[in-house]
Structure 1
Amino acid sequence: MSACRTHLRWILIPLAILLFAGSAGCRQQKPALDPAQLRDFAANQFEQAQSFHFVLTHSHGTTTILNGMQLVQAEGDVTKSNQLHATLLVQTLGAQLHLQLIGIDDRTWMTNPFNPNQWQPLQGVRAQDILNLGAIPQALRAMTELHVTGQTNQQGTPMAILEGTLTSTALRPVIPNGTEDGLQLNVQLWIGANDHRLYQVILNGPLTKSEPRDIQRTLSLSKYDAPVTITPPTS
């Protein structure tokens, strides 16, 4: 009788372990979001952010911004209350220049290209007329042909890679001076698997007919909801 109980115990213990592991795995598993839900979650999270840091870079081209200047790179901070402070690397008049840009509501200032210590107001120009990253959710919701193409991990954050198509017209609110109608771009979104934050946007393809066909724009986003103070320039 004792031998039977011992034999039964050695059968039941592994079975209990397997059942416990299986139930724990079921509790931890989350239902997968379909591509449209993932896109919408990312757009909603972006809209709710109080602030974020951004870096915009280009491969094989530039973006037309204010007065025909060609944007090579931009980095800065944006707040939900229509405030922006960015450093721009631009091409203009045959030279590359570093400029500072501050936008607060409807007021905008930019440093003098020939005197970086001197700020000058841009009359009748809002920062959103140059680069309006607050309009990204509107553009995201216009994406079509959505599908998840893979996963990645950046600095310990697991991310899903969502791919789709977007028209140049849908991007006009984001880049008001650098788009023409009738063009279609491939878009990749890197979205946090757990927090559904948008961490990177890759735009493949031209926004105007004069741009190279292989132009690529990469927008990296970070430091969501970090404290940011943007004030008018003092000089």
Structure 2
Amino acid sequence: MKKQFYFILFVFISLINASVAMSQTLTDIKGQPLKQIIYAEFEGSPFFSKVWSKGIVEMANGAKYTDLDLKYDQLKDGLVFKGKNDEELYFSDAIKKFTLNNTPDNGKQSVFRNGFEAYKDFTTQSFYEVITAGEISLLRKNFKTVIENREYNSANVIKKILNNNLLYIARDNKIIASQNDNIKVIANAIDANKSSSIIEFSSKNKLSPKKEEDLKKIIEYYTSIK
């Protein structure tokens, strides 16, 4: 009877701990203040969406937060959340994946994650938007850059934020090709043994690797014949 009591007590405590672990709240999140002044002198927005998006965040430590107000700062490649007092904060802890729901200026749900091998200027912590997921994934890297223009006969410098988007193909968390590659390079990167079939399919259907929808068709075709 005594052993049964301790067993029930152990199960009860375990369930409580599990419940606490699953119910992460806004007060559990560690954040660093966003200094709005750093963007006050820029033309254009550094964010993926200018307005707050409801979303989900999965942390590298396994914690998961839902129904947060989020903004993705593409200039810094960092995620911002709205704190309990409406302050704007960057996440202090490492993020693995996040989802942004529909907003007025972004009419779809967007999923971003990191963990891909370092590629050119991007690191393992860089976030990519996942267009299609699978053995072969199609990714979009959304990033923003700043250019400076000086007005004629003026000391004033205008800083403009520019939008940049590149499509990448990945396998096993490794970038293997980009939309800037020709179809032969892409086909060989996807599967050297099936490259001729991929090239023939692309040529027959007049597909361009520079177009998102065409790259999706190429990947779908490969998945159907592998």
Give the TM-score, by structure 2 length: 0.25
Task: Choose between structure 1 and 2 for higher RCO, CA contacts under 8 A separated by at least 6 residues.
Answer: 1
Please tell me whether Structure 1 or Structure 2 has the larger radius of gyration of its CA atoms.
Answer: 1
TM-score normalised to the size of structure 1?
0.25
